[in-house]
Amino acid sequence: MTSPLARFHPRLLDALRGYNRERLGKDVGSGLTVGIVALPLAMAFAIASGLKPEAGLWTAIIAGFIISALGGTTAQIGGPAGAFIVIVYGIVERYGVANLLISTACAGVLLFALGLFKLGTLVRYVPVSIVIGFTNGIAVLIALSQVKDLLGLEIAHMPGDFFSQIKAIAGHIHTLNFFALALGAVCVLGLFVWPKAFVQGSPLIRLLEGRTVRTFARVPGPIVALVTLSLLAWGLSLPVETLGTKFGNIPSGVPAFELPAFSWDTVRLLVTPTLTIALLGAVESLLCARVADQLASDPHHLKHDPNQELMAQGVANFVVAFFGGMPATGTIARTVTNIRSGATSPIAGIVHALVLAGVVLVAAPLALYIPLAVLAGILLFVAWNMGEWHEFVRLKQFSNHYRMLLLGTFFLTVVFDLTVAVEVGMLLACAFFIRRMSTLFHVDAVAEAEGALVYKLYGALFFGAVAKIDPIVQAVESRQQGTRVVLDASQLISLDASGLDALEQLFKAIVHRGGQLYIHDLNDQPRGLMERSGFAGRLKDFQTSAAAAL
């Protein structure tokens, strides 16, 4: 007998079978690379979310370690993600940091329950148009949230909603810092140029050949931008805001384990942010896992287990809340980097977390000199890569339903928030699906046979298509007494309670006029429903063939 609960079986246990020194070397190399890439992103995501940089760093360390150790994927990297920036900022703005921690812990419990009860596959039912819509909307909001630091504007407190942010930026544009703008612009330009500089045949490749090129090519662009531009700003004493001037010292020690102030009254107020964090975390992590499965070419890579992955995400989010962290999920950019660096098992993700921990514990004071404009430039680059902008160009190739879902979700995400966008998007998707399915059901009138009205039913007769039975009722009422009606149900593939009720109303109209209703050639599902409901027994003759009915 199959258990209703998923088995807790981390992918790490499978990956360690036959593990050897060669694979360990690849995983350590990948972990080092991803750890370096994650360093600026973790700080940038936390700052953009209205938190201190150490919140992002320790989320990447703790959640990243747990997700790799307990997850259901081979190469996925977990940690703070760009998609959460807008959500977390809104929660902090409205409820405060303490309630963010409670929401994160509760979302962790919900994610674990989704995985435990084998609901991981439900995430796949979210239409791709909605996913693209809210992803692009979040990318726009991330980019807008970084304009303040990119331009060096003197805004004491940045509001959380779209129009208020635009108003605040426009009202303080006179405080523009050209040094900050120059640093940010160079950062963005450098991040776009860096990977292209090492394409085969480029001028840099011709100038620097051999090992030198390979060494430079392995250095992640964000780290190059972070180090070079921070040194430039420090060496020239540029008047720009840095992590040190805004946040003071970054603690180099492990954060204390603290229980957030918890009460059921508070939890009831946090239902919406909790559901938002859980939904986005589930969608992002499982989408990331699917991308990893498509990109991975290593023979040791195993397809992800969605339920195990959600359980690991749940544990990570629950634990990280007790260390002052932020929501965590699977991260596409770092996962892709991990795969392309040669990762063969979750050991690479564990190494990435340990590398980050080592850097934070040893070199935290150096982060004080990082300009906020440089971090803004990195996040603008992340936002650009995060959005699937080509989908807007391709909209003309799709139906009006697809366009409305994508554009509607996009604009609702930007103007309101992700929760409203997904709720409205899913309602519209259901409405469009019902409408499309109703168009697939139709009734064809067949030429009269021996004085009987004969109709053939096609498709699924459900609540969205019952109106198409009305013409048969009208035809019966317009004829003389004693009319016989024959329904050929050989092409009726599905019937629900509303469809059955429509047939019963047709039956009553025919009986009221002294006629008879015959239904023949029923498929298993419609026949079973009619028999269980007793409708089959009320028919004078429950026929199985057209010949018998006529």
**CA 379/CA 41 separation, integer angstroms:** 8
478 burial class (0-12, 13-18, 19+ CB within 10 angstroms)?
A: exposed
**CA 177/CA 179 separation, integer angstroms:** 5
Distances (CA, A) of 241 to 106, 149, 381: 35, 8, 20
Q: What number of other Cβ atoms are within 10 A of residue 257's Cβ?
A: 9
Cβ 543 vs Cβ 520: under 8 Å: yes
pLDDT at residue number 293:
87
Which residue, 510, 202, 246, is CA-closest to 367?
246
Q: Where are the alpha helices (DSSP H) in 270-371?
A: 271-295, 306-320, 332-340, 347-363
**CA 171/CA 488 separation, integer angstroms:** 71
Token digits for 432? 């469009």
**CA 83/CA 307 separation, integer angstroms:** 21
Options 3.40.1190.20, 3.90.1010.10, 3.40.50.300, 3.30.750.24; CATH of 441-549: 3.30.750.24
Pairing of strands 484-495, 516-520: parallel
pLDDT at residue number 1:
57
Token digits for 311? 């359980």
pLDDT at residue number 514:
87
pLDDT in tens, the chain (550 residues): 567 889 999 999 998 888 998 899 999 988 988 888 888 889 989 998 999 999 999 999 999 999 999 999 999 999 998 888 888 998 998 888 999 999 999 999 999 999 999 988 887 778 888 888 988 888 898 889 889 999 999 988 788 788 888 999 999 999 999 999 999 999 999 988 887 766 555 565 555 555 555 555 566 788 888 889 999 999 999 999 998 888 877 777 788 888 777 777 777 888 989 999 998 899 889 888 888 888 887 788 888 999 999 999 999 999 999 999 999 999 888 888 888 888 899 999 999 999 999 988 888 788 888 899 998 898 898 888 888 899 998 998 888 889 999 999 999 989 887 778 888 988 999 999 888 889 899 999 987 766 789 999 999 999 999 999 999 999 888 887 888 899 999 999 999 999 999 999 999 999 888 888 989 889 999 999 999 998 988 875 545 444 444 5
3 state SS of 397: helix
Question: DSSP label at 451?
Answer: T
Q: What number of other Cβ atoms are within 10 A of residue 505's Cβ?
A: 14
pLDDT at residue number 299:
83
Sign of the dihedral defined by the CA atoms of residues 66, 70, 74, 76, in that order = negative
Q: Which amino acid is at 107?
A: A
Token digits for 377? 């430039």
- Residues contacting residue 219 through CB under 8 Å, at least 6 positions apart: none
**CA 212/CA 101 separation, integer angstroms:** 46
**CA 330/CA 281 separation, integer angstroms:** 8
**CA 319/CA 109 separation, integer angstroms:** 10
3 state SS of 238: coil
| Backbone φ and ψ of 222, nearest 5° | -60, -35
pLDDT at residue number 88:
92
pLDDT at residue number 295:
80
**CA 196/CA 323 separation, integer angstroms:** 39
**CA 472/CA 478 separation, integer angstroms:** 10
**What H or E segment, with its residue span, contains residue 230?**
helix 221-235
Domain boundaries, the chain: 24-148+162-386, 441-549
Q: Which amino acid is at 252?
A: S
pLDDT at residue number 282:
92
Q: Where are the alpha helices (DSSP H) in 117-175?
A: 128-145, 147-151, 162-171
